[in-house]
Structures are given as C-alpha cells and as structure tokens.
Amino acid sequence: MIAFPTTGLKMKRIGRRSAFAVMVLIGATVSVSAATFEEGWREYQEGDFPAALEIWLPLAETGDARAQFNIGLMYDEGRGVAEDSKAAAEWWRRAADNGSMHAMHNLALEAIAEAGVSGDYTEAVTWLRAAADAGSVRSQYSLGKMYQYGLGVERDDTLAATYIEQAAEMGFDRAQYNMGKMYRDGQGVPKDEAKSAEWFQRAADQGYAKAQNHIGIRLAKGRGVDKDVVRGMMYLILAAEQGHGAAEQNVGDLRAMAGDGIYEQAATLAEAWEAERLDVY
C-alpha cells in the first residue's frame, strides 16, 4: 500500500483541474492528457515536486507509464514525498507493466542492490533483458557487464563484448569506454590498440572523464593513435577539471616532462572545448 502525501491545493491547481474536467467533458481527453503531463514536467523542472506529483498522480492511476515512472523516481529520491524505496519499486512495477524500459532498468538496479547481499541476480538479469528488448541501450550495456562478471548468467566474455559493443555503437559513453578497455586487454575481442584508442576517443568526446584520462595518455605517448602531446594534455586537463584524481596527477607529470608552453596551449584548447554529448536511453 502506497501512502501518498497530502498537499494543500493551490488556486492555480484548482483552476487547472476545473479546466481539465471541462475539456474531458467536451471530448478532448487525449490532447489534455499530453499537456497535463508536460505541465507536471514543468513543475518538476522548476523544483516544485509536490505540484508535479499532484498533476502526475491522476495520470499514473489511469495507466500513464511516464507518470508512473517519474512518481517512482520521486519516492526513490525523496522528492516531494518521504523517501520510500518500496513505494518506488511499486510504481516502477506498474510502469514496467505498461512497457516503460526506464522502469524495467531501474528495477534491475534495485534487484542488483539486493543481490549484493543475497548473491541471487536472477531477477536483475530478467529485468535487464526485458529493458534491453524494449530498447534501453544502457540496459544492453549492463546486461553485457552481467555476462562479463558472471552474475545471474554463465560468464561469457564474447557475449559480454557483443552486448557492450552494441551499446557503444548506439553512443553510450560508458560502453564506449569499456570497449576501449576490452580492445586494450583482448577481453572478449581480439587485442587491438587502434580500436581501443578509437573507443576511448569517442567516449572522451562526450566528456567521459575516465576516457579522457586514457586518451590523454595515449595521445601523449602515441599509443594506438598518432602522437599529439598538446591534445593529450588537453584531455588530461579536461578529466582533471571533472575531479579525476589520476588525471590530475598525469597533468602534473606531463607538464613536468613537456614544459609549461605545451601546458598553456592545451589549457587554451581545453577552455574552448565542448563535449558532444549523445542522448542515449
């Protein structure tokens, strides 16, 4: 049983509800539902979580998977309601029943957290597979990691690489970074320094700090890629700016070797650099 918070109705919401009722009566249900979800989203973006909840709740109760998923997240993070992981899972199950891949994925992560103690990853794999089948790229990646670790499935590095590379091709930065490591180590794929550098580069271009550290070192040394100390230093600076500890150390080491001039050039490039982020589900 989910306990819902009681929130005082504001005048603007009374007005919104009245308008909703009138428009339902005149048969404009579909367009109003879409608009109402958007209104909830605007309140959410503005940080008025109780207002977002109030708008989304009726939609969720009538089967809107987006509203069900977002309400689950609000319970999970304690936004606008008291934090309640059971209520979050309940809403996510309802959203998953209505086809939400996001809910399936988050349920898998909850199952992974529980399995950390029990050791039983069966439920997690089931949810990940369902979410991957529904189109979730990051679930595809996570499923690959389950095969890589042998959690809930027989360990299979080749299958792991297949799933992770598919997610990487779709633009998921973490998967791209992992492919960089897998081609470097020959794990599930043949060793290939050039491909390793290429994947690190693609993740680095999206702003992924760990990959920036790797490609930074590779560019500085010319490993799997043409040597370019300035660009190498630039990626190291970018990673360090994100708080990557090893990159901070590497910036210092490379600066000591290459000199202040190289560092200054790289810092200028880093200042103008912009991540090319891909929106991946």
Partner 1 sequence: MIQRFLIVLMIVAAVSLAAIPLDVRAQTKPDDAAAFVGVLGSETIKVLQSQSATLDQREAEVRRLLRENFALDQIGRYVLGRAWKTATDDQKREYLELFSEYVLSTYAKRLGGYTGETFSIIRSETVGTKDAVVMTQIDRPSGPPLVAGWRVRNVGERMVILDVIVEGISMVTAQRSEFASVVQSQGIEGLLQTLRLQISKFAAQSS
Q: Which residues contact partner 1 by CB under 8 A?
A: 5, 7-8, 37, 41, 44-50, 66, 69-70, 73-74, 77-82, 102, 105-106, 109, 112-113, 115-119, 138, 141-142, 145-146, 149, 151, 174, 210, 243-246, 281
Are 31 and 59 spatial neighbours (Cβ–Cβ below 8 Å)?
no
> Would you say 22 or 34 has its CB closer to partner 1?
34
Q: How far is the CB of 223 from partner 1 (least distance, A)?
A: 19
Q: How far is the CB of 227 from partner 1 (least distance, A)?
A: 26
> Would you say 96 or 270 has its CB closer to partner 1?
96
Are 230 and 262 spatial neighbours (Cβ–Cβ below 8 Å)?
yes
φ, ψ for residue 169, nearest 5 deg: -60, -30
> 226, 229, 219: which is closest to 260 by C-alpha?
229
Q: How far is the CB of 245 from partner 1 (least distance, A)?
A: 7
> Would you say 67 or 189 has its CB closer to partner 1?
67
> Would you say 191 or 277 has its CB closer to partner 1?
277
Distance CA 273, CA 237 (A): 11
Taking each helix axis from N to C terminus, what angle separates 49-61 and 29-45, rounded to the nearest 10 degrees?
150
Q: How far is the CB of 9 from partner 1 (least distance, A)?
A: 11
Q: 135-173 burial, b if ≥16 CB within 10 A, otherwise e?
A: ebbbbbbbbbbbbbeebbbeebbebbbebbbbbbebbbb
> Would you say 25 or 117 has its CB closer to partner 1?
117
Burial classification of residue 9, based on how many CB atoms lie within 10 Å of its CB (0-12 exposed, 13-18 middle, 19 or more buried)? exposed
Q: How far is the CB of 86 from partner 1 (least distance, A)?
A: 17
Q: How far is the CB of 100 from partner 1 (least distance, A)?
A: 8
Whole-angstrom CA distances from 84 to 45, 145, 194, 199 are: 21, 28, 47, 39
> Would you say 151 or 267 has its CB closer to partner 1?
151
Two structure tokens written together for 190: 């043949």
> Would you say 5 or 252 has its CB closer to partner 1?
5
Q: How far is the CB of 277 from partner 1 (least distance, A)?
A: 11
In the chain the first and final C-alpha atoms are separated, in Å, by 30
